[in-house]
Structure 1
Amino acid sequence: MEIIILSKEKVKPSTPTPPHLRNHKLCLFDQLALGICITPIFFYKNNNNIVDNRLKKSLSETLTLFYPLAGELSSEDDSTFVKCNDNGVLYMEACVKDNVCMDEFIRDLDLSQLINFLPQHASMGSKMNYGQTLETLVSIQATRFNCGGVAIGGVLFHRLLDGDTMSKFFNTWAKIARGDFHNDDIASLDFTSSSLLFPPQNLPQEFLETNKMIFFYEEKSLVRRFVFNARAIEAIKMKVSSENVPNPSRVEALTTFIWKHLILATRTTKGVSSSPIMVAHVVNLRSRIDPKLLNAFGNLVFIATSEVIDMSDDDELDLPHLFGIVREMFENMNSENLKALQGDDALDCIVDMATQVGSLLPQLDTYKFSSWCNFGLYDVDFGWGKPIFIAPFIEPISSLNKQQIILVENGRNDGIEAWILRNNEEMLELEKDEEFLTYASSNPSVH
């Protein structure tokens, strides 16, 4: 597939950012976000859609509300501020050269082609370092298919925002574009509380390197998309549930199920019956802290981790047992435990956690999950109707992600998609796992 770039420009906020808002202070969790980008792609149905000036104009108005996204991050490694200087965001318009209809593309989805719908100049985050300067913190590409379908792809620097803020940004932009925005929708967006509650710290370089080693290394990997429909999810919830640990959520159940089968794949490829393992899950803290900060801008997430476990007994791979570990991991992310990250001892707490885990490398196998569920991403309607498909792009070849599992809602059948990045050998084993494939469909048609 070949993409033709039609235009490329910077879009700036419609109203200049006032002097008293020119410095946006980062919080501790912004600092902990590794130098990667969030890369969603939204696909919209054939409605003879026209990518017109409305999209740029509404983006400009949105940047006035989300003004840090139009700023610049200092090149200094220890910077704790974003310069809100209205530098702007990169905005590109493109079209598909080949006579490929969007329905045809997503019916026979080739994951390797998704990169075409993201701004090509922009780093996917695979080589980013702490403090590295980007041309823009956000880049957008609007791509038109000949049939009239449209794809909106974004590259958003993770240091400045998480999935919750990403969703608020796209939903606000879409509301403004379709003329359905009211000031009350965004009046409560909070740019200051997170840095007051979790102030930035002077992070030691040794900690930064250890943190990257735990979750990142450079290795050829494979990305696969698996879809769990609503019926499969209900069946998995029943399998993981027990009298002692009942009522799993959809995300808890899928995390448990996928984790088990990845452990089996790891054991097969390593040729061992046991090794130290750890499950981790990115957790949105907005509703878990006291006071709640439901409208906080930026990164208000933390990676919840289980204890390091050495599973030598097959009984320990029993789904209810694994679910108990997952449930405990989530429950530990409560307001009382999170107070340790608010006080003067926050840095010591984080460094100690990283040091303990880092000491087990490279033997430790980590399984890191994140979820885009319940963010309202399928409500991002620019006036063309809701998206028919959303892809969380993951670049396999140059990605520094050691492994990653992203859970995303499926817009058609109340299902959930699991986008999984693992090394080649483990992924090939997972694709042969008959029990796993009883519940998961491998890259099915979006239709």
Structure 2
Amino acid sequence: MYTACRKYMASSMEIISKEIIKPSSPTPNNLKTFKLSLLDQLTLHSHTAILLLYKSQHINNSDILNFFLSKTLTKYYPFAGRLEKDGITVDCGDHGVVFVEAKILGCRLSEFHAYPRCGMEVTIDISHKVVDGCMMAAFLNDWAATAHGEVRPPPMILAASIPSLDLGYMMPDIVINKAKTCVTKRFVFGAQKIGLLKQSVSGFVETPTKGELITTVLYRCVVTSSMEKMGCFTNSNLIELLKKEMKELHDGGDGQNLHDWLLSVRESAKNAKELFGHVNVYRCSDVHNAPYYQTNFGWGTPRWVTVPYLLVRNMFILLNTPDGDEIEAMVTLEEGHMKLC
């Protein structure tokens, strides 16, 4: 995992400090090997990053942040581990995370950020196979709570509740095709627009969520643009994160249903090469309900939460806005497709 605290004060970046932060207490021997859940095994190799912008122009003593980061890592021990070559095992040997504090001079946030009065940024970058957006929000909030002296229960580590099965196939690394230029745009769906979308499906879909409505709109737009560009309809699949379905199966207490579902996923994974080789795959990560805007290290809550980069094509990320009434969609497509959206 990579963590960073940056002060927007200059046009060139100056590294103030860089160090490895390890858990404050050793991980027990029985937890040294962490097997990824089936859902995490099916996740493509990529990195997840989140960026929290704060109004404050100064950071409390970074040594204090380091101290409480170290204590928080004891509960999130896989974060300080290393993913093995098999792609499904994390070596939880307390290797640590990289913590960087840097300063940037002469940079006007108004030139590239929607909330220009922010003065400081906290960024986390970690393997998506180890952590998803919701778990990252939980980690950030636990880190901040620990800094306030608050004691919270241990987090639910997904692999501890969802069995790990041998797929017999390792998901491929995401390869960035530099020959194809990708463009990321930010779309904001206001409360009024979301209300109109709900009205438009009334009688067809029962109580759709904000995420479902916006994902459907985005998917329709990109498929339409793909048809215009290619001159025909190309095979496409929308891969929504399966956490919600998995959680319903798990919380329902029906072990047989969960077992049957896991087996069906394993069978489907046998066709993963064909799926990713011949189908346009659109990935959507809906984390607009994740409590990022509650993350308070002592200098207030974030003014804006977003993703610093999206290099993977055909990707949607849904985030909340500060007021909680709107949804921000970060969409990455090939440049030619984006022009048609």
TM-score normalised according to structure 2 size:
0.85
For residues 198-217 of structure 1, the aligned pairs below 5 Å read 198-204=163-169, 208-209=171-172
Contact 1:27–1:198, Cα closer than 8 Å, also in 2: yes
Cα gap change, 1:261 to 1:377, in 2 (>3 Å): same
> Matched residues in 2 for 1:375 and 1:259: separation?
22
Aligned to 2:304: 389
- CA gap 1:270/1:14 in 2 versus in 1, 3 angstroms: same
Residues of 1 paired with 2:61 and 2:53: CA distance?
13
Contact 2:37/2:158 (8 A) holds in 1: no
How far apart are the structure 1 equivalents of 2:36 and 2:143? 23
CA distance in 2, matches of 1:89, 1:202: 29
- Superposed, which structure 2 residues align to 1:357-372 within 5 Å? 357=275, 361=278, 364-372=279-287
Question: What SS does structure 1 have at the residue aligned with 2:99?
Answer: strand
Give the aligned residue type for 1:33.
T
Q: Secondary structure of the equivalent of 1:172?
A: helix
Q: What is the aligned counterpart of 1:232 among 193, 214, 218? A: 193
| Residue of structure 2 aligned with 1:423, choices 329, 334, 338 | 334
Give the equivalent residue in structure 1 for 2:203: 243
Structure 1 residue aligned with 2:5: none
Name structure 1 gaps, 5 residues minimum: 110-146, 294-333, 431-447
Give the whole-Å Cα distance in 2 for the aligned partners of 1:232 and 1:369: 20
| Residue 2 (structure 1) shift | 2.3
- Residue from 125, 145, 151 that aligns with 1:155: 125
| Residue 380 of structure 1, aligned match among 288, 295, 299 | 295
The answer as to whether partners of 1:372 and 1:407 remain within 8 angstroms in 2 is yes
Q: Tell me the residue number matched to 1:187.
A: 154
Aligned equivalent of 1:166: 136
Partner of 1:94: 102
For 2:215 and 2:155, locate their aligned partners in 1 and report how far apart those are by CA, in whole Å.
33
Look up the SS of the partner of 1:260 in the other structure: helix
2:235 and 2:92 mapped to 1: Cα distance?
A: 44
In structure 2, what is the Cα distance between the partners aligned to 1:54 and 1:93?
13
One-letter code aligned to 1:198: P
Q: Is residue 288–residue 335 contact of structure 1 (8 Å, CA) maintained in 2?
A: no
In 1, Cα distance between equivalents of 2:184 and 2:249: 34
- Equivalent positions of 1:234-313 (< 5 A) are 234-239=195-200, 241-272=201-232, 274-285=233-244, 287-291=247-251
Structure 2: state its 5+ residue gaps: 1-10
User: Could you say what secondary structure the match of 1:290 adopts?
Assistant: helix
Quick one: structure 1 residues 68 and 365, their matched pair in 2 at CA, closer, same or farther if it must change by over 3 Å? closer
Aligned length: 329
Partner of 1:178: 148
Task: Tell me which residue corresponds to 2:63.
Answer: 53
Asked if structure 2 preserves the Cα contact closer than 8 Å seen for 1:283 and 1:370, the reply is no
Alignment partner of 2:249: what SS? coil
The secondary structure found in structure 2 opposite 1:166 is helix
Q: Which amino acid aligns with 2:227?
A: R
Distance 1:388 1:292, change over 3 A: farther
Answer yes or no: is the 8 Å Cα contact 2:318–2:329 preserved in 1.
Answer: yes
In 2, the alpha carbon distance for the partners of 1:335 and 1:425 equals: 47
Structure 1 equivalent of residue 3 of structure 2: none
Q: Contact (CA 8 Å) 2:54, 2:304: kept in 1 or not? A: yes
User: Aligned with 2:14: secondary structure?
Assistant: strand
Q: Which amino acid aligns with 1:357?
A: L
Q: How does 1:314-393 map to 2 (within 5 A)?
A: 338-343=258-263, 347-352=266-271, 354=272, 357=275, 361=278, 364-393=279-308
For residues 156-180 of structure 1, the C-alpha deviation after alignment (integer angstroms, 9 at most, x for no partner) is 111211122111111100111233x
Give the C-alpha shift of residue 338 in structure 1. Answer: 5.0
Query: Which residue type is aligned with residue 119 of structure 2?
Result: G
- Identity, in percent, stands at 26
CA contact (8 A) 1:167 1:377 kept: yes
2:147 and 2:297 in contact (8 A); partners too: yes
Query: Does the residue aligned with 2:137 lie in a helix, a strand or coil?
Result: helix
Separation in structure 2 between the aligned mates of residue 336 and residue 235 of structure 1, nearest angstrom: 40
Task: Please list the CA deviations of residues 393-434 of structure 1 after superposition, one character each: whole Å capped at 9, or x if unmatched.
Answer: 334xxx3x231011111113510001000000111122xxxx
Q: CA deviation at 1:346?
A: 5.1
Report the residue type matching 2:241 in the other structure: V
SS of the residue aligned with 1:46?
coil
Relative distance call for 1:44 and 1:336 in structure 2 (3 A) is farther
Query: Alpha-carbon deviations, 1:187-229, whole Å to 9, x = none?
Result: 36346533xx422315236xx35x969xx75532101111111
Q: Is the 8 A contact 1:410 1:417 kept in 2?
A: yes
* Structure 1 residues 148 and 225: alpha-carbon distance in aligned structure 2, compared to 1, 3 A threshold: closer
1:29-67 CA distance string (max 9 Å, x none):
222222211100100113644353221111011111111
RMSD (Å), alpha carbons: 2.9
User: Is contact 1:49–1:149 with CA below 8 Å preserved after alignment?
Assistant: no
Distance change in 2, residues 1:12/1:228 (3 Å): same
